[in-house]
Structure 1
Amino acid sequence: MNSSNYSKRSIKHKVYIIGAGPGDPELITLKGINTLKKSECVIYDYLVNRDILKYVPITAELINADKVRNRFSDNFTKEQDKLNDLIVKKAKKCKIIIRLKNGDPVIFGRLNEEIEALIKNKIDFEIIPGITAASSAAAFLKVGLTKTKIAPIVSFITGHENPLAKNSEIDFSKLPKKSTLVFYMAVKNLNNIATELIKEGWEKNTPFAIVENVGFQYENKRVGRLKDMKKLFFNIKPPVILLVGDVLNYVVKKK
């Protein structure tokens, strides 16, 4: 084997999937920052705070993921495939490529779709976790997601299901009442979620909190009881996260 062939084969290409945290650029981990500083290409989500990109070398290529795929498309699988193909293409070209995701990539981040493409193409990768929106929203509300005897369980649930699916994949009857429910991407289904929970035996006075723009400077909250969801469900724009459960009682009482 000649030296040029050996050199080519010894170069390792790796994809780092990094959680940027929600909104606030100071919420990204130190490991995430240090990895960004070594990047050759960064593919980032639209919700990632642009201040985080200051850690990227000026020689690195920056790609907005939402200019590659249409996140509003009903056929999201097809759109995600476009992004997967781009990640693989760049990973074969660059030694260090970053897939920068909002929040924590392991929670509703389309992570498995992307790593399956990497595994299929035998591309090495590493996941660097981030702070998820649920934790940031709870901190903003100044409340814990769990409490002894009241909420020993926390459930993370998608509030935005496949629009092409005929039936919901969420069985509201199975959601434990002694728990805190966190619905991600729920802006279009807030009223439906409240209706389904009440239908399945949740008390109408169960408290909830809607947090808009989690982690950003213009973060905002709306709190109330399930029975009042319709009254509060107006002029709400994504990104939104919905928290439901008795741990929020004191938040609602002090509003």
Structure 2
Amino acid sequence: MRMVFVTNPWASAMIRGEQIAARLLDAVVYQHTDTAYENARENDVCIFVKSFPDYGWPALMEAIKVKKCYLDIVDSVIALRSARSSEIAENMDLGVIAIGKLSHEYISEYLDRDDIILIPEHHCNFESVMRDKRDVFKVGFCGYEGNFHLDPVVVGRALASIGARFIYHINPEDRNVCCRFYASIDISLSFRSQMDPALAKLKNPLKLANAGSFGIPTVAYPEPNYIAEWDGCFAKVENLDDVVRVVKVLMESKAAYENLSGLAYEKSKEYHIKKILPLYKELLV
């Protein structure tokens, strides 16, 4: 039996498509649904990663005739709506995958289903590299520009006033770039304070897991999904003044830094790819 991932142009294609497929015995990745139709086999299990057919799920499942189709919604409100059609509600042929605890609760309620599958997103640190012991002063953000809701120039100046350096890395090219970035910083900063309520419920705490896997604590705006999965394992901040205050404490107090980094590291173990792969293998049974 083969697992087929139909992916998208975004980072989720690499993380929840290519990186997983590369570690399964028999799996392939297609970037277009038409290619999946042409190459589908009767015993395939297909996972559409943040991807869906323009003409509807019933037509797709009738066309490709595989063993099972799943929609991995990731953080797509549009993909979620595509799974709410009356045809899907009636026959339940389409399996649905959620990316996090809060997402699982929201999707289950939105679709009025009790069979939603939870598969968390794995962090980037497959090799379990740890941050070197050194003085704490480098604060960093790694991700897409639209996911950082503070002015990076203003943040840099504010942190410089307490002797910290702010490193702002947007649009990382791949996993190795992310890993090098996290290994080079001492504190991760995440500040995404303005999101559509529905979208906020579909997000997950990947940034916390990425940083925590290197033994790096995160200072973050308390997104609902962060609270749902990581409450107590990151430092909550509501504004720039809070960011400066908390970073200063972590810089000056070795005990505070080691306590928060230890909590983050232990929590991150739940998101290692070796813990996530078995959840995909269960779909082949």
Return the TM-score normalized by structure 2: 0.32
Q: Which has the higher strand share?
A: 1
By relative contact order (CA 8 Å, sep 6+), the higher-ranking structure is: 1
Return the TM-score normalized by structure 1: 0.35
